[in-house]
Amino acid sequence: MASPNKNGDNASITTPINVQPSPTTPLANTETAVGYQSEPALEDKENTMIDTNVAQAPTQKDSELIHLNPRALNDPEWGNPRTSLADADYQDLLNSIKAKGVHTPVFARIVNGEYQLIAGFTRRRAAIEAGIESIPCIIRKLDDKQAYELAVSENVDRTNMSALDEAASLKEIVKRHNGDAQAASQEMGWSRAKFNRAIQLLRASDYVRSLVGKKQENGFALSVAHAARLSTLPETLQDKLVTKVIDEKMSVAVLGDKINKVVKRPLSSAAFCKSDCERCEYNSDVQTSMFAEDNADAHCTNPTCFAKKTTEHYDNQVKELEKDYGKIVLLSTVDDPITVSPDMVGQEQYTGGCLSCDKHCAILADKGIKQNEILESQCLDADCAAGHAKALKASIERQATSNTTQATSETAAPTATTEATQPATQKTAKAKTQAAPPKRLILESQNHLREVGKDLLMAHPSYQLAVTLSALKAQASNTHRMEEGVIELMAHSPEQLQHMMVETIAELTHSVQTDTLNIERTIIRAAQAHIDDFDAHAIEQWKPTKERLAAMTKAIRQQALEKSGFAAAFKAEKGEKAYNALMNKKTDDAVSDILAFEFDWSAYAPDYYTNAITTQKYNF
């Protein structure tokens, strides 16, 4: 008997193989559809059942339509993005499938030789319950991120997927986009208004979200609309008020009215600038200033304005903080971030891996008790961080054991030496995916490399002739690329180039073609190809100017200080405490202190600069 599949079914499964139905075979035919043979004799029927553990791996093309047994579709690790469906809606779907079968294809992909369901979870569930053995399925070639986005998009497009499910899906997609909420919403094709609504709903407390759709003892069930209304309040107030909503079976309209008229938001808790609130008619201080006994604390009685100002504040904060931190993630859009540090994962791993990783970011708390705080050095991959912490601990334990063994060995034989005297080291893992430096750093690097390379190239005996000849070839041929031509032609001697130039001029009488040239990229590539030790020369020319240091994000600046040896030199002279204070200063102050400290930078250049030598990312 076959082992249970991921859906918990123990029956042997007929695994679909890469066979297409004949042109005369109706797609709804459950006997001869893909993966199913004509009914055999009773005694031979068992031989047609193919165990999924030994069957040939499926090899369908992208977007190919086939028919599958619904039980052969395994669940993805993220499950069904849609977690709520009205019983009546499901019953209607089930009755339809029992009567007519499944007509709308589900989506699946091939993972490790098996079919994994992407979208159509409810149709598969109903098909299994209805005893349907063949359903249409479109096979897609997608990675995890693309598959999840299709699952969410298909749910949103085909059904009234609840706003709570959409918000939860957005959080998962944000995670797969390494914290970039805007990129996630653009990928899903969501409008700015829809994106803001989802973010706002994510600010509902965990307790409130857990109650949505659950029928209480008094028969009341909290709706998504209730949660959306409550999400505009502080979490502690949400948790208190939701109990009252349930006990009184409060409608959404009544709840909204109470929030507008009764619930007041302390202006002291507002994240935004309150200068406009001082004379606002909805400020309780203004409302009661005519009386002798004023309220001790000012409150806002206009929830719509309060929520709008809060959203605008965080939008502006993100834009401003990105200048220093590179990537800013809202706390409401991620689950369980973890703070990483050299003490947690080791100095080498932190500097060489974590600071370069696209999972490394700063988080702006837009909810909870830390609201409006910046949480620095956060990792969005808790499992990865925990793995490096475990590796560091193991390295330290090996070092302790090694020291103990060495001490015992030296007691027995004082003159003996072993490799145990060498410190145990932790292997530094490269970032899973390198974080992209800000565009301003790459552009400045490419421009500087052009300045370094152009004088060296002008002195090269073949450069000027190669540029001239390549320009002529670009005019004479539709296929000639001037940039590539310059680099290739520089390998020839001046005499050869002059001869080739005569031939090309002759061609120009028959063909004229205009082309463009990226001279900056051409200079960098040509210098690297034809100038000896250009890389070393370029690194030697790089210097940490005020503009360059200020343009760096905090993480990139810290990585530069650590890798260059600046950090070690600074600590040796001024101490660890002074270095930590330097790291916590504002950009302008930190840059001034760095430049004031005497240090030899001649043998160092940042990674983004050295990468620009080999890869010119931006074209002009």
Whether the predicted pLDDT of 378 surpasses 70: yes
Mean pLDDT over all residues of the chain? Answer: 75
Q: Which one has a higher pLDDT value, 1 or 303?
A: 303
Helix H or strand E encompassing 308: helix 303-325
Q: What's the Cα-to-Cα distance from 123 to each of 89, 128, 135, 472, rounded to whole Å?
A: 12, 9, 9, 64
pLDDT band at 593 (very low <50, low <70, confident <90, very high): very high
The amino acid at residue 42 is L
Please answer whether residues 301 and 277 qualify as being in contact, where contact means their C-beta atoms are separated by less than 8 angstroms: no
pLDDT band at 162 (very low <50, low <70, confident <90, very high): low
pLDDT on residue 5? 41
Residue range 401-417: average pLDDT?
60
Look at phi and psi of residue 113 and say left if phi exceeds 0, alpha if psi is from -120 to 50, else beta: left
Residue pLDDT, tens place only, 449-497: 888 888 888 888 888 888 888 887 776 666 778 888 888 888 888 888 8
Token pair listed for 507: 């061609």
Residue-wise DSSP of 210-274: HHBTPBPTTS-BB-HHHHHHHTTS-HHHHHHHHHHHHHTT--HHHHHHHHHHT--EEGGG-SS--
Token pair listed for 349: 């791993």
Cβ within 8 Å of residue 74, ≥6 positions away:
5, 6, 7, 111, 114, 115, 116, 117
pLDDT on residue 582? 93
Q: Which of 426, 451, 431 is nearest to 559 (CA)?
A: 431
Residue pLDDT, tens place only, 429-456: 555 555 567 667 777 788 788 888 888 8
Helix H or strand E encompassing 529: helix 519-530
Residue linked to tokens 């507002």: 270
pLDDT on residue 489? 87
Residue range 495-521: average pLDDT?
68
pLDDT on residue 589? 92
CA separation for the pair 313, 274 (Å, rounded):
11
Range list of H helices, 159-223: 163-176, 181-188, 192-202, 206-211
pLDDT on residue 84? 56
CA separation for the pair 610, 429 (Å, rounded):
20
Whether the predicted pLDDT of 350 surpasses 50: yes
Which residue ranges form the domains of the chain, and what is each CATH number? 1-161 (3.90.1530.10), 439-614 (no CATH)
Residue pLDDT, tens place only, 113-149: 889 888 888 888 889 988 888 888 888 888 887 887 7
Whether the predicted pLDDT of 26 surpasses 70: no
Residue pLDDT, tens place only, 259-284: 776 676 778 778 888 888 877 877 76
Please answer whether residues 603 and 539 qualify as being in contact, where contact means their C-beta atoms are separated by less than 8 angstroms: yes
0.75 surpassed by pTM: no
Residue range 524-540: average pLDDT?
88
CA 257 to chain centroid, in Å, comes to 39
